[in-house]
Amino acid sequence: MDPDVAPRAIVAGHGALPGGLVSAVEQITGRGNALIPFSNVGLGRAEIESGLRDLLALHGVNVVFTDLPGGSATFAARRVQHDTPGLIVVTGVSLAALMDFVFCDAEMPAGESTARAVEKGRAAIASVAI
């Protein structure tokens, strides 16, 4: 982990996926510190929401990536967003999207860097047949 890379987003979702995605970003880019993983394992609705609020406050970030659009982490993030002006929630997170995000200039407005990440994530999905 590069100690000079500051946290910029939370990656929230099911099971070991958030930690796995952040681990993969670190392995490939060395910028895993830019992402804080948060798993919903064992947590109820209120605890997921309060856990997200705590992490956002602790790290001073304004972006949450989540996995399933209809998942508990997304619902919790959207509830936090409801009373947190400026918070951006990106659903359907992937490794491709996160890698683009961590390479964006940290000074770039979050709306712009997340929009780029969404496009990269979409573009990385392909079905290959021989």
Partner 1 sequence: MPIALYRIDDRLIHGQVVVGWGQPLDLGFILLVDDAVAESDWEQELYRLGVPPSMDVYFASTSEAAREIAKYASDRRTGMVLTGTVEAMLQLARTAVLPIKAVNVGGIHHREDRTQKMRYVFLTKGEEQDLRSMAELGVVVTAQDVPSAPSHSLEELLLGCMT
Query: Smallest distance, Å, CB 10 to partner 1?
Result: 18
Q: Which of 59, 64, 60, 32 is nearest to 49 (CA)?
A: 64
Q: Tell me: does residue 86 bind partner 1 (CB under 8 A).
A: no
Q: Tell me: does residue 62 bind partner 1 (CB under 8 A).
A: no
Cβ–Cβ < 8 Å for 24, 79: no
Residue type present at position 116 = R
Query: Smallest distance, Å, CB 44 to partner 1?
Result: 3
Query: Smallest distance, Å, CB 43 to partner 1?
Result: 6
Residues 6+ apart with CB under 8 A from 101: 8, 9, 34, 63, 65, 113, 114, 116, 117
Nearer to partner 1, 62 or 91 (CB): 91
Nearer to partner 1, 67 or 100 (CB): 67
Judged by CB under 8 A, the residue of 29, 75, 92, 116 near partner 1 is 75
Q: Tell me: does residue 92 bind partner 1 (CB under 8 A).
A: no
What is the distance between the terminal CA atoms of the chain, rounded to a whole angstrom? 39
Judged by CB under 8 A, the residue of 33, 39, 62, 74 near partner 1 is 74
Sort 123 into a burial class: Cβ within 10 Å, 0-12 / 13-18 / 19+: exposed
Q: Tell me: does residue 103 bind partner 1 (CB under 8 A).
A: no
Cβ–Cβ < 8 Å for 16, 39: yes
Applying CB under 8 A, which residues contact partner 1?
14, 42-45, 47-48, 68-72, 74-75, 78-79, 82
